[in-house]
Amino acid sequence: MASQSKENYLKALFHLDQKDKAISVTELGKVMEVKKSSVTNMVKKLAESGWLKYEKYQPIRLTKKGRKAAALIIRKHRLTEMFLVTKMGFGWEEVHDIAEQMEHIDSPILFDKMDELMDSPRFDPHGSPIPSKDGTLHATHFYPLDSFKQNDIVLLKALRHSEHTFLEYLNSKELKLHEQIAIHSIEPFDKSMIVSYGKHTHVVLSATISTNLMCEKVGDI
Amino acid sequence: MASQSKENYLKALFHLDQKDKAISVTELGKVMEVKKSSVTNMVKKLAESGWLKYEKYQPIRLTKKGRKAAALIIRKHRLTEMFLVTKMGFGWEEVHDIAEQMEHIDSPILFDKMDELMDSPRFDPHGSPIPSKDGTLHATHFYPLDSFKQNDIVLLKALRHSEHTFLEYLNSKELKLHEQIAIHSIEPFDKSMIVSYGKHTHVVLSATISTNLMCEKVGDI
DNA sequence: AAAATTTGTTAGTTATAGCTAACTTATTAA
DNA sequence: TTAATAAGTTAGCTATAACTAACAAATTTT
């Protein structure tokens, strides 16, 4: 495939692409933490190799080929994260940086083996879906905790993002994926919630937290 | 640490260093599969960062710092190989290329975890010693099968090299590491041997094979 | 000891991937 | 609708790490 740098651009493009709106040079530069001029340069090269379509001053559009390549890199990343957590005993807050490097490893047998050893997991440790081998990423239908109502019972299915500090916070609250959460009340003023889950009853979750907890309703109190 | 390319130079230098004789630019170039001019250039840079000592037209000498850095890269390589074989079910002929990439991953916790999960293995799947965490590589005292005598019983402890075809050959003969080998006779003309091991009796091993099987004597027939 | 060969170095080129500075195009505000 | 701002591009520079071609030093052979 492409160089590590190119793979990172493809990955970033894939993520921006998911948010449906047009992808700009400036935006891509922000995500990649490089200057706009560097982006213009790189995007030209990626266009030459058919990973994306690009015309001066126009939005960047991934091609089917580019989208598939990106999905397969993300597949390697997420399979690795899941392997590290389920087979090696790492915490979900430890695996991102390792997977960030492992995703560039060129070895189909390695990732096939991980997949096999884990019986083809569909989600990574943070609840993000793992693209399938053909580069397909099926959409999930989870909604932020703050979009549910009082007396709803939900399951925590994914995190909107996986920043280290956020994961550490959830660890400190012993709030894990697939945990059942009961919404006792919602404070109208700051949207903070009083919830119960696992062995914790009547815990306060701020709106900052609850917007990032992606859930699925399973019943009522 | 250094770039991937620099790490590969250090590794090559370490291996050449083990063969005690002075390291030349030409030799290093052959191992690295680059032109001599590229070596001269790189060696200058490595010298500037203190990985080695170098003066024009003089042999290259690794510094203590360089030797340690190299040993730690080799540690990552060999730990990975062992992990892939013992924890993931790969064959010893499949792991080199993967480890070659994984050895550049910057993540102490990953390799510490592998080490822990395997209870600090001392050898990799091909019998090569794994440098310890402080960069020490203890010498092994194994000798090629062809240096033993008729009626000696030995254990296969390591391979002199691990080329894919050689490993495949050993697989086809069902000859594994730690297998006990009894030397029945040695053909004086071509130094081929008739040996028995496992469930195989009176198998012929050519000198080409036996020189690459590093063994340790455990008794007599 | 001179000639031939091998070994090693230097200078200059290429590709990748970033940067700054200057400029152009597009969009938004006055 | 002009002016200001934001977005995007171009040109030229830097570092890494390879290369070739030409040359210099060291070693071997005759």
Number of H helices, E strands in chain B: 8, 8
Q: Is A118 on the interface with B (CB under 8 A)?
A: no
Predicted confidence (pLDDT) per residue in B145-193, tens digit: 999 999 999 999 999 999 999 999 999 999 999 999 999 999 999 999 9
**Min Cα separation B53/chain A (Å):** 31
Indicate the length of chain B as a whole number.
Answer: 221
- CA count, 13 A, side-chain hemisphere, B110: 24
Q: Is the pLDDT of residue A21 over 90?
A: no
Q: Is B118 on the interface with A (CB under 8 A)?
A: no
d(CA A115, CA A73): 14
What percent of chain A is predicted at pLDDT more than 70?
A: 100
- DSSP E strands in A2-145: the ranges are 52-53, 61-62, 143-144
Where residue B2 falls among pLDDT bands split at 50, 70, 90? Answer: confident
3-state secondary structure at position B70: helix
Q: Is A73 on the interface with B (CB under 8 A)?
A: no
Chain B residues in contact with A117 by the CB 8 A cut-off are: 88-89
- Which of B's residues 5-24 have CB atoms within 7 A of nucleic strand C? 24
Chain A residues in contact with B110 by the CB 8 A cut-off are: 84, 98
Quick one: pLDDT at residue B43?
97
First CA to last CA distance, chain A: 52
Average pLDDT score over residue span B49-78: 96
B70 CA, C16 C1': Å apart: 26
Quick one: pLDDT at residue B174?
96
Predicted confidence (pLDDT) per residue in A23-78, tens digit: 999 999 999 999 999 999 999 999 999 999 999 999 999 999 999 999 999 999 99
Q: Is the pLDDT of residue A134 over 80?
A: yes
Quick one: pLDDT at residue B1?
73
3-state secondary structure at position B144: strand
Average pLDDT score over residue span B70-99: 98
Quick one: pLDDT at residue A2?
86
CA max distance for chain B: 57
Q: Is the pLDDT of residue A20 over 80?
A: no
Question: Does the CA dihedral A48-A50-A55-A58 come out positive or negative?
Answer: negative
- Which of B's residues 35-54 have CB atoms within 7 A of nucleic strand C? 36-37, 39-41, 43-44
B21 CA, C1 C1': Å apart: 31
Quick one: pLDDT at residue A172?
97
Chain centre distance of CA B146? 19
Phi–psi pair at B149, nearest 5 degrees: -110, 165
Quick one: pLDDT at residue B45?
96
Per-residue exposure over A25-39, b if at least 16 CB sit within 10 Å of its own CB, e if not: bebbbebbebeeebb
Per-residue exposure over B37-75, b if at least 16 CB sit within 10 Å of its own CB, e if not: ebbeebbeebbeeebbebeeeeebbbeeebbbbbbbbbb
- Report, in ranges, which bases of strand C sit under 7 Å from a protein C-beta: 7-12, 16-22, 25-26
What integer best gives the mean pLDDT of chain A?
A: 96
Nearest to A101 among B87, B94, B106 (CB): B106
d(CA A6, CA A45): 9
Q: Is A113 on the interface with B (CB under 8 A)?
A: yes
Chain B residues in contact with A106 by the CB 8 A cut-off are: 101
Quick one: pLDDT at residue A73?
98
